[in-house]
Structure 1
Amino acid sequence: MTKITSMILLLGSTVLLNAQVGINTSNPEKELTVNGTMKTSGIVFKKPMEKLGTDENYTFIIKSPAPENKITAYNDSFVPNSPAPINIIQFKITCDPSDKDWVKEFDTKINSKKFLVVISSFGFTQPVRTNTADWLTPVPQIFAYSTGTTWKLKADYEGFSPTSTLPTGEWTLNLLVYDRSYAKEFNSTQSLRNSTTGAAAAPLIQ
């Protein structure tokens, strides 16, 4: 009798392991479907990872560092123009016709208190090589900087402007914009003194 009971229990366990379990739902969609809140101390992912179906979407949750401990959920149903943790923004800026390559200050209107801006790449529409006694290649001076409460952009080829026969130049500036809740900004200023080499006084992150 003991052997028969053990076999029945084992068979029942196998059936449960292969079934779909639902919490607060009578129609579980996966092996475990939870309709409500859940707390877990660890997650083991199924291998191979299962792809989402055509009628399924995703949500991922980000927790900012202490002491803020801000929890934000993101998914593919964002409200248009609402920020994500990392945003890619492109500006195309046509220059002043009198100079053709100089953007002294362009206000992005991006809140510098909430976001961190990094210029990831750039482009310029006109030739930038000058023809003089010596061939010179102008060096671009491109900055993103914060003044007031917004991020500003500057772009220029120092000591150069396209020839008068060329159209006015246009800069393309690609920005990475990080939500400050999930990014840290470190600033360090050091002098090499009388040397051409140096090292940070201490690691800024490790």
Structure 2
Amino acid sequence: MTKIISMITLVGTSVLISAQVGINTATPEKELTVNGTMKTSGIVFKQPMEKLKADENYTFIIKSPAPENKITAYNDSFVPNSPAPINLVQFKITCDPADKDWVNQFDTKINSKKFLVVISSFGFTQPTRTNSANWLTPVPQIFAYSSNGTWKLKADYHGFSPDASLPTGIWTLNLLVFDRSYAKDFNATQSLNASTTGAAAAPLIQ
């Protein structure tokens, strides 16, 4: 009799282990599916990580801004004023009519302690020229830099400008804005000395 009871217990245990458990749902999709809020003192991820199926999507877990202040899956309709982990921001800046192509400093008001800004692409509406006797190629100087807690932009064709008969130029600057919670920036300065080749002294990331 003891052997029979032990066998039944083992069989029942194996069934429970392989079953899918649902909390507040009658149709669990995984070993444990929770439809509602959950509190835990720690999470151990399954190794190896399970791959998403063809009909499954991934998302980011974020803390929504006040007044919600909730840990939630990123959803633009749920928190419309909250930035995404990666954002595309476009500025169209009309230049000073006297210079036509120079933006010495434009304050984006983007918090440089919270976000990392990269200029991904740009455009300018007018052709530029120089009064120099030498043939020169206009090279745009486009910068995004942090100053006094916000990101500033600079754009100019140094030594060049649109002809006086042309309308004032307009810069289009497309920015990739990364939340620093998910991104890091690394800086390195190195000289090639008398050579045309070189290598980093050490890997910045690995």
Pairwise TM-score range, normalised by the shorter structure:
0.7 to 0.9
Distance in structure 2 (CA, Å) of the matches to 1:131 and 1:159: 9
1:107–1:26 distance in 2 versus 1, CA, 3 Å: closer
Per the TM alignment, residue 79 of structure 1 is displaced from its structure 2 partner at its CA by: 2.1
Map of 1:187 onto structure 2: 187
Distance in structure 1 (CA, Å) of the matches to 2:71 and 2:144: 27
Per the TM alignment, residue 190 of structure 1 is displaced from its structure 2 partner at its CA by: 1.7
Kept in 2, the 8 Å contact 1:74–1:84? The answer is no
Kept in 1, the 8 Å contact 2:116–2:178? The answer is yes
Map of 2:65 onto structure 1: none
Question: How big is the alpha-carbon RMSD for the aligned residues of Structure 1 and Structure 2?
Answer: 3.1
1:45 aligns with 2:44: no
Map of 2:26 onto structure 1: 27
Write out per-residue CA displacement over residues 90-129 of structure 1, whole angstroms, 9 at most, x where no aligned residue: 1000000001000000000111111111111000011236
Moved more, 164-173 or 128-137: 128-137
Kept in 2, the 8 Å contact 1:94–1:168? The answer is yes
Per the TM alignment, residue 132 of structure 1 is displaced from its structure 2 partner at its CA by: 7.0
Kept in 2, the 8 Å contact 1:129–1:137? The answer is no
Per the TM alignment, residue 28 of structure 1 is displaced from its structure 2 partner at its CA by: 2.6
The sequence identity of aligned pairs, in percent, is 67
Give the SS at the match of 1:181: coil
Deviating 4+ runs (over 6 angstroms): none
Q: Give the TM-score normalised by structure 2.
A: 0.73
1:105-144, aligned counterparts within 5 Å?
105-128=105-128, 135-144=135-144
Per the TM alignment, residue 82 of structure 1 is displaced from its structure 2 partner at its CA by: 1.5
Map of 1:167 onto structure 2: 167
Q: Give the TM-score normalised by structure 1.
A: 0.73
Distance in structure 1 (CA, Å) of the matches to 2:164 and 2:128: 13
1:66-105, aligned counterparts within 5 Å?
73-76=72-75, 77-105=77-105
Distance in structure 2 (CA, Å) of the matches to 1:191 and 1:26: 62
